Chain A
Amino acid sequence: MRRRNFLALGSAGVALAGTAKRRPLLPELDEACGCEMQAPGGRGRGGRGGPAVDAFANLQSGLKITGLKVFGVSLTPNSDRPYVFVKIETNQGLIGWGEGTLEGKAGAVIACVNDFRDFLIGSDPMQVEHIWQDMYVHSFYRAGPVMGSAISGIDQALWDIRGKALGMPVYKLLGGPFDPRGVRGYYHVDGATPDQLVEIRQTARELGVTCVKAGIPGYYEWIERRPKIEQAIKSIQIYRESLGPDIDIAVDFHAKTSPSVASIIVKEVEPLNLLFIEEPCPPENVQAMAKIARRSTTPIATGERLVTAYGTREIIEMGVVDILQTDINHVGGITGLWKVAACANVSSISMAPHSCEGPIGGLAAIHVDAAMPNFVVQEICGQVRPNANDKLWEEWLGFPAMRMVDGRFPLSEKPGLGFELSEESLNKYPFGGTRPMARVFGDDGSVVEW
């Protein structure tokens, strides 16, 4: 915290110094590039960057945002995915937490959250949709994953405040729950040996877990040699053989394969009746993914890297996928995830939201899931048996966050997102800085997807 504040001040100081130095050299320098279209009445009704709340002076809830804090939380000093937690404080003592974790780009998201300070301080936190639009539209260039994650963290925190102010869990504000028992989830079984899979099958049955997800081995070129293709197919067959016919199996290709290579594998595993194949190719080209989907009956899922409903529109409207895996920490928070689900529902596309970052985003996702007519299953990057992260989350939040009961994540009756978190509990895991995600290279040294 202190260090971050210091850094922020430091960089502001540098910027000021720079301006002061340059100013005498270019006395007539105008910040405007001349391409700005002026609204009638001239620049800045309320001024550029001026307070946006004036128009709602008579419609204020009485709550005002007074503080914005953003925390980088590194579980290990060299973590490539420090959690980015956003805390918003209000004049009435209500606080909200949100998450904008973006793997490999923590520093950029932290900076981006701080860039939104002027949009937030002094605003009415109840106007979630209005603030969301203000942040998104008035950022002009629209949002990529960095800004999407920053907006996500802020949005979740605002919803948390909203729920607390209205005395209701967020899923009730959204019109849920569809199923009071909770929302169905799955655990990861990636990398398990056949023997371990047989054991997992037994444990899953005892715990009521009905679905798991696995990956495929190795890395792939855009055209692949047949030993690699056959190894991938074999690995998926082993999942089904070891886990049996009763459990739903999802297989994550993690965009390691091209449409050409994925088409072969996806078609050949049709008889295994998988729940879905995830990210059979990278996310930029919807038509390319359509090429895979139109030649197989295996359901296709994707979407964790797509930002906002705008970024998801094309894939929905083309009917390319069966399932969308929108990530609440990147898409634009609760507001973003809910809108994607609404759009998908119109096209009979199901939702299996991705949440593989920290516990705040996971819990926030459960609220939206509970209010989706087209929800199928929620991801969390946990294992069938709890691990160290699960223990830590329980320590922070006081309950086993993101652990299923009878195959479902239970719903909370508490207002807002339904948890308390103290800044002190995060102090043990100070921000270790931004670290790159895995950088993987092929046998010939070339860059490959992982």
Chain B
Amino acid sequence: MHRRSRLRLRFAPQAAAAEAKPSAMDITAIRHFPLREPVSGNRYSLLRVTTRSGLVGWGECGFDPNADLKALQSAWTGKPANAYAAIEPSTPFRAALDMALLDILGKAANAPVYRVLGGPTRNKVRAYSSPRSQEFPVAVIDVPAPVFRNQGKAYQNRILELVNAVPATSDFVLQGNGLLTPGDAASVAATVETKHPLWFDEPCSHSNIEAVRKVSGETVVPIGFGSGISDPGVFQALLREGLIDVVRPDIAIFGVSGARRVAALAEPYYVAVAPRHNGGPVGTAAAIHLAASLPNFFIQHVPVPAAEQDRAMRREIVSPAIEANNAGFLDLTKTPGLGITVNESALEKYHAS
């Protein structure tokens, strides 16, 4: 014990000196680019972080008109860009800052982000897309909300029809979107149980844990939650009781390292991770690195827009075309950082003013 405190005394002056000295890795500028897809109107935010040495990192998060950019800038300008672990959950643009700092760290280390994070743990990233897109082989079925109570067998048959329309050889995700009552959710799950969906996403609201207990207790259909969850403690509560089979941290909320912590939380429960992602291609790039750094990753949602104009925008603002489907998988990038180039002039064109 004495020895340890002696060591602390010996190293303290060095640590203080390191803090005071300006470093090439210090953040000198943070800029925000709010974007909107022209047809879908879907909005997301990009962040560009620059260091004294001239390294540039990009990140993405959900669009929030109330996010306090000035607070972010004053808190992080002058801070070391490698200190991504020091980002607090309350930091504005938290997810984008996290991705941008990892992008910079990778570039500084001349390595892809997944390598900085101890990967790759896999050589390709399984992916699926939104209901409207047929590009990826996993079908997404939106469960129709029951219009009347007591729809009984007719309602169940309606669900079965949708499920039976999916070829028996391909997989499907059932999406409840949190719209069903606990009883309806349990009954829908029981109806499709032997059809083996990959999972039932948001069968009911996760906020009433008793409702989730009911759905989980009555069927063995895997259940996924993540929508609107920003507190990892919510995942922990669901994991502790075995009420969740797919944890879905939203990368636009948690960033890469926040999602990695949620994945670490799920791992000792043998629970798989399928990060949520409803933003743009920078987010997809970050998701690829996240997936390639996790042991318990299962699948990544890629929000491919329905309109060609919106898809063109994604290809325009980010290169290379990382969202390309390769037999149901995304390829890993090999260049340093997130492995993408952001076309700043195109960002102006899609500015969400």
A223 to B124, CA, bound (A): 17
Q: Which of A264, A294, A295 has the most CB of B within 10 A?
A: A264
A223 and B272 within 8 A (CB) = yes
Partner of B272, one of A260, A267, A290, A294: A260
B242 and A222 within 8 A (CB) = no
Contacts A222-B271, A288-B269 known; A446 to B295 CB distance under 8 Å?
yes
Contacts A295-B217, A446-B295 known; A288 to B169 CB distance under 8 Å?
no
Residue-by-residue, is B284-304 near A (CB-CB < 8 Å gives 1, otherwise 0)? Answer: 000000000001111100000
Contacts A222-B296, A223-B222, A260-B272 known; A446 to B122 CB distance under 8 Å?
yes
A223 and B298 within 8 A (CB) = yes
Within 8 A of A (CB), among B143-181: 168-169, 171
Contacts A222-B298, A227-B169, A444-B122 known; A260 to B196 CB distance under 8 Å?
no
Q: Which of B241, B242, B245, B297 has the most CB of A within 10 A?
A: B242
Q: Which of A35, A221, A222, A230 has the most CB of B within 10 A?
A: A222
A196 to B172, CA, bound (A): 36
The closest CB in chain B to the CB of A261 belongs to B222
B13: interface (CB < 8 Å): no
Q: Which of B198, B221, B269, B270 has the most CB of A within 10 A?
A: B270
A139: interface (CB < 8 Å): no
Least Cβ–Cβ distance between A222 and chain B, in angstroms: 4
Residue-by-residue, is B253-279 near A (CB-CB < 8 Å gives 1, otherwise 0)? Answer: 000000000000000111110100000
The closest CB in chain A to the CB of B121 belongs to A446
A447 and B269 within 8 A (CB) = no
The closest CB in chain A to the CB of B199 belongs to A223
Across the interface, which residues of A come within 8 angstroms of B123, CB to CB?
A: 444-445
A260 and B245 within 8 A (CB) = yes
How many cross-chain pairs have Cβ atoms below 8 Å apart between A and B?
91
The closest CB in chain B to the CB of A442 belongs to B122
A258: interface (CB < 8 Å): yes
A447 and B272 within 8 A (CB) = no
Residue-by-residue, is B120-135 near A (CB-CB < 8 Å gives 1, otherwise 0)? Answer: 1111111000000000
Across the interface, which residues of B come within 8 angstroms of A319, CB to CB?
A: none
Least Cβ–Cβ distance between A8 and chain B, in angstroms: 32
A285: interface (CB < 8 Å): yes
The closest CB in chain B to the CB of A225 belongs to B171
B340: interface (CB < 8 Å): no
A282: interface (CB < 8 Å): yes
Question: Residues of B within 8 Å of A, CB-based: how many?
Answer: 41
Contacts A258-B270, A281-B270, A445-B122 known; A291 to B196 CB distance under 8 Å?
no
Across the interface, which residues of B come within 8 angstroms of A281, CB to CB?
A: 270
A263 and B220 within 8 A (CB) = yes
A223 and B220 within 8 A (CB) = no
Across the interface, which residues of A come within 8 angstroms of B269, CB to CB?
A: 259, 285, 287-288
Across the interface, which residues of A come within 8 angstroms of B219, CB to CB?
A: 295
Across the interface, which residues of B come within 8 angstroms of A34, CB to CB?
A: 1-2
Least Cβ–Cβ distance between B209 and chain A, in angstroms: 15
The closest CB in chain A to the CB of B138 belongs to A225
B194: interface (CB < 8 Å): yes
A268: interface (CB < 8 Å): yes
A221 to B121, CA, bound (A): 14
Within 8 A of B (CB), among A286-321: 287-288, 290-291, 294-296
Q: Which of A226, A281, A285 has the most CB of B within 10 A?
A: A226
Across the interface, which residues of A come within 8 angstroms of B84, CB to CB?
A: none
Across the interface, which residues of A come within 8 angstroms of B195, CB to CB?
A: 226
A447 to B297, CA, bound (A): 11
Contacts A227-B169, A444-B124 known; A287 to B242 CB distance under 8 Å?
yes
A376: interface (CB < 8 Å): no
Least Cβ–Cβ distance between A110 and chain B, in angstroms: 31
A288 and B270 within 8 A (CB) = yes
The closest CB in chain A to the CB of B294 belongs to A446
A229: interface (CB < 8 Å): yes
B31: interface (CB < 8 Å): no
A267 to B190, CA, bound (A): 12
A284: interface (CB < 8 Å): yes
B240: interface (CB < 8 Å): yes
A447 to B294, CA, bound (A): 11
A261 to B196, CA, bound (A): 10
A223 to B274, CA, bound (A): 10
Across the interface, which residues of A come within 8 angstroms of B168, CB to CB?
A: 226
Partner of A444, one of B126, B217, B241: B126
Across the interface, which residues of B come within 8 angstroms of A442, CB to CB?
A: 122
Q: Which of A223, A284, A288, A442 has the most CB of B within 10 A?
A: A223
Across the interface, which residues of A come within 8 angstroms of B295, CB to CB?
A: 446-447
A221 to B49, CA, bound (A): 37
Least Cβ–Cβ distance between A231 and chain B, in angstroms: 11
Least Cβ–Cβ distance between B275 and chain A, in angstroms: 13
The closest CB in chain B to the CB of A263 belongs to B220
Across the interface, which residues of B come within 8 angstroms of A444, CB to CB?
A: 122-126, 329
Least Cβ–Cβ distance between B229 and chain A, in angstroms: 18
Least Cβ–Cβ distance between A137 and chain B, in angstroms: 25
B246: interface (CB < 8 Å): yes
A226 to B198, CA, bound (A): 7
Across the interface, which residues of A come within 8 angstroms of B194, CB to CB?
A: 268
The closest CB in chain B to the CB of A284 belongs to B268
Across the interface, which residues of B come within 8 angstroms of A223, CB to CB?
A: 198-199, 222, 245-246, 272, 274, 298-299
Contacts A259-B242, A264-B220 known; A221 to B298 CB distance under 8 Å?
yes
Within 8 A of B (CB), among A394-450: 442, 444-447
A44 to B246, CA, bound (A): 53
Across the interface, which residues of B come within 8 angstroms of A227, CB to CB?
A: 169
Residue-by-residue, is B202-223 near A (CB-CB < 8 Å gives 1, otherwise 0)? Answer: 0000000000000001011110
Partner of A229, one of B2, B122, B196, B297: B196
A295 to B190, CA, bound (A): 13
Least Cβ–Cβ distance between A136 and chain B, in angstroms: 25
The closest CB in chain A to the CB of B291 belongs to A444
The closest CB in chain B to the CB of A290 belongs to B242
Least Cβ–Cβ distance between A263 and chain B, in angstroms: 4
Across the interface, which residues of A come within 8 angstroms of B199, CB to CB?
A: 223
Least Cβ–Cβ distance between B333 and chain A, in angstroms: 15
Across the interface, which residues of B come within 8 angstroms of A282, CB to CB?
A: 270
The closest CB in chain B to the CB of A449 belongs to B270
B196 and A222 within 8 A (CB) = no
Least Cβ–Cβ distance between A234 and chain B, in angstroms: 12
A34 to B329, CA, bound (A): 55
The closest CB in chain A to the CB of B245 belongs to A260
A–B complex contacts, Cβ < 8 Å, 6 sampled: A221-B272, A222-B272, A264-B221, A287-B269, A446-B121, A446-B297
List 13 additional A-B contacts (Cβ < 8 Å) besides A221-B298, A281-B270, A444-B124. A226-B197, A259-B269, A260-B271, A263-B220, A267-B193, A267-B220, A285-B270, A288-B269, A442-B122, A445-B120, A445-B122, A446-B295, A447-B295
Closest 6 CB pairs of A and B: A291-B242, A222-B272, A260-B245, A226-B196, A444-B122, A263-B220
